[in-house]
Amino acid sequence: MLRNLFFFFRGFTSEDLPPRRAFQQDETRESPLRRSDSTRPSGRSIYMQRKEYSETLSKNPDNINVRVEHLFICEIDGLEVKTVDDCVAKLKNLNAKGRLWPQEMIMEVQGPYLLLNDIETKTELDSVPLSCIVQIKAVLDSCDFNSLLAITVQERSKRNPRCFMFQCEETGADLIKSDLDKAVQRGGSNLDQHREPPDDILNHVLNDLEIFVGKVSTAVNTPGQQGDMGKKKKTKKKSKKNGNSLHQSMFLTNK
């Protein structure tokens, strides 16, 4: 009997088992490719986005909106640092000593201003009027920074020019220089170009105030007006004195 049982189990195979019923989730589960196709934008949507982008490029072919690495601001004091080349030499020296503190940012032109914006928050870090840019220079393959853009700025509130230095890794410094030269020549298309700086507005207010104070002082110190004011004061004193006398006489009469 044991021998018969042995041959019974030995001859049992997986084919003798009943067919496995597929789970419901196996039947309804979609392949990853089908799921990705359902979320993929349509060809028309992509085309319309590209069309809008092309129209933007046609209207503003020289529009600047690039990612750069701000390296250093060098003051051209006319003594130790006289030219942009001197600024580049100073940059190399600081880089060799490991004393640079670079920061990535977005450089763009809006109207008459060159803006430096934070990459993540898009907040404005600094702004320079295009009218204050006096020189733009691209320095290629001269040091560890192989695509260096140097922008020299002379602002009214600053005594000496300053040179802003950027490493342009994604977009070449020579390409940015070309577009920025055109933007400076145009001077910006925004009406804010004629906006006066806050310092100039304050100076106008102070000048107007000085003129007003001067006119008032002149009017007060004029001899004719001083005499008129003296007469008015005397007239007031006499009127007050007569009024007191009349009051006293009426009081005595009533008594």
CB 87 within 8 A of CB 81: yes
Three-point CA angle 116, 121, 70, nearest 5°: 35
| pLDDT value, residue 54 | 76
Structure-derived torsion over alpha carbons of residues 63, 69, 72, 78, reported in degrees to the nearest 10: -30
User: Consecutive sets of 10 residues in the chain, 255 residues long: mean pLDDT of each?
Assistant: 51 55 49 56 83 70 85 95 96 95 95 95 95 96 90 93 96 95 78 44 63 71 58 54 52 48
Domain presence at residue 207: no
Structural domain boundaries, residue 167 = 65-194
CA gap 92, 145 in Å, rounded: 9
CB 191 within 8 A of CB 167: no
| pLDDT value, residue 178 | 94
Domain presence at residue 80: yes
Domain presence at residue 20: no
| pLDDT value, residue 246 | 46
Domain presence at residue 237: no
Domain presence at residue 136: yes
Domain presence at residue 7: no
CA gap 105, 69 in Å, rounded: 6
Main-chain dihedrals φ then ψ at residue 109, nearest 5 degrees: -110, 125
| pLDDT value, residue 116 | 97
Q: Scan for tokens 């977005």, then name that residue.
A: 106
Q: CATH number of the domain that 92 lies in?
A: 2.30.29.30
CB 97 within 8 A of CB 118: no
CB 184 within 8 A of CB 151: no
CB burial class (10 A; 0-12, 13-18, 19+) of residue 215?
Answer: exposed
Main-chain dihedrals φ then ψ at residue 66, nearest 5 degrees: -130, 155
Please count the structural domains in the chain. Answer: 1
CA gap 216, 227 in Å, rounded: 16
| pLDDT value, residue 27 | 47
Minimal CA–CA distance to 184: which of 153, 160, 158? 153
Give CA 105 to chain center in angstroms.
10
CB 148 within 8 A of CB 142: yes
Q: 64-80 burial, b if ≥16 CB within 10 A, otherwise e?
A: bebebbbbbebebeeee
| pLDDT value, residue 214 | 72
Domain presence at residue 113: yes
State the first-to-last Cα distance of the chain, in angstroms, to the nearest integer.
Answer: 160
pTM of the model: 0.55
Domain presence at residue 114: yes
